[in-house]
Amino acid sequence: MRLLVRQFSTTRRVLSHIGSAPIKYTSEVQIEHANEQFSLTDSRYFDKTTLKVTGPLGNRTMPIEPYVKLAFNEPARAGSEHELVVSVADSTMKKQRQMWGTTRALINNCVIGVTEGFSATLRFVGVGYRAAIEKDKLVLRLGYSHPITMDIPQGLNVSVPVPTRVLVSGIDLQHVKLFAAKIRQWKKPEPYNQKGIFINDETIVKKDGKKK
């Protein structure tokens, strides 16, 4: 009788490729890791410190886990980029490995946000579908019996270059994508006539209707 022996790997655990990649930024961006509590009212953040990122477009703050370590490397010569290296106290722990790459990605988004910003373009496809800015509110006309009025969140810029296009921009990627999704929610793209609100280069596969 042949015995099957399960082979266990003895190789070293692979570290986070995303987390270990340095974040590069220019001198117009200031990053400060303040040793202060991120929130005084929300118990979820009592043990987390505060990271402040400031740039030409504004400033962002985000919580840093106590086991996340940040190392700031000064540029080797004048005019070169600064570097921020993210690490964790114990990379063998699953939670710390997960947050390693996540934290690095969130910090990088902050840097991009305060320098370049984020944007989302919504396309209105359908007869009579259009949008407009009226009294600092976004007004959508999507074939319903009444127009839909949406408040524009603080920190976001919303413009309507043409009636069938809405441009949402801001320094916070999450807020930009969330508001774009809320607009899309009013008229999701449907596959039969391919009408609705599309975000960026979103496409939908056309389906044939029921044939009698």
Helices (H), 60-124: 94-115
Residue 209 CB contacts under 8 Å (≥ 6 apart), including other chains: 192
The identity of residue 125, as a single letter, is V
Nearest CA among 74, 65, 33 for reference residue 50 = 33
- Return the pLDDT at 203: 87
- To the question of pTM greater than 0.85 for the whole model, the response is no
- Return the pLDDT at 187: 95
72: its two tokens: 């700031």
Nearest CA among 75, 71, 76 for reference residue 20 = 71
- Return the pLDDT at 18: 79
- Return the pLDDT at 35: 86
Nearest CA among 76, 85, 78, 79 for reference residue 31 = 85
- Return the pLDDT at 68: 95
- Return the pLDDT at 7: 53
The identity of residue 74, as a single letter, is E
- Return the pLDDT at 74: 83
How far apart are the C-alpha atoms of 25 and 139, rounded to whole Å? 38
How far apart are the C-alpha atoms of 148 and 141, rounded to whole Å? 6
Phi/psi-derived region of residue 207, left when phi > 0, alpha when psi is between -120 and 50, beta in every other case:
beta
DSSP states of 43-76 as a string? GGGTT-EEEEEEETTEEEEEEE-TTEEEEEE--S
- Return the pLDDT at 4: 54
pLDDT tens track of the chain, all 212 residues?
A: 555 555 544 545 555 677 889 999 999 999 999 889 998 899 989 999 999 999 999 999 999 999 999 999 888 777 788 999 999 999 899 999 999 999 999 999 999 999 999 999 999 999 999 999 999 999 999 999 999 999 999 999 999 999 999 999 999 999 999 999 999 999 999 988 889 999 999 988 888 766 66
Residue 102 CB contacts under 8 Å (≥ 6 apart), including other chains: none
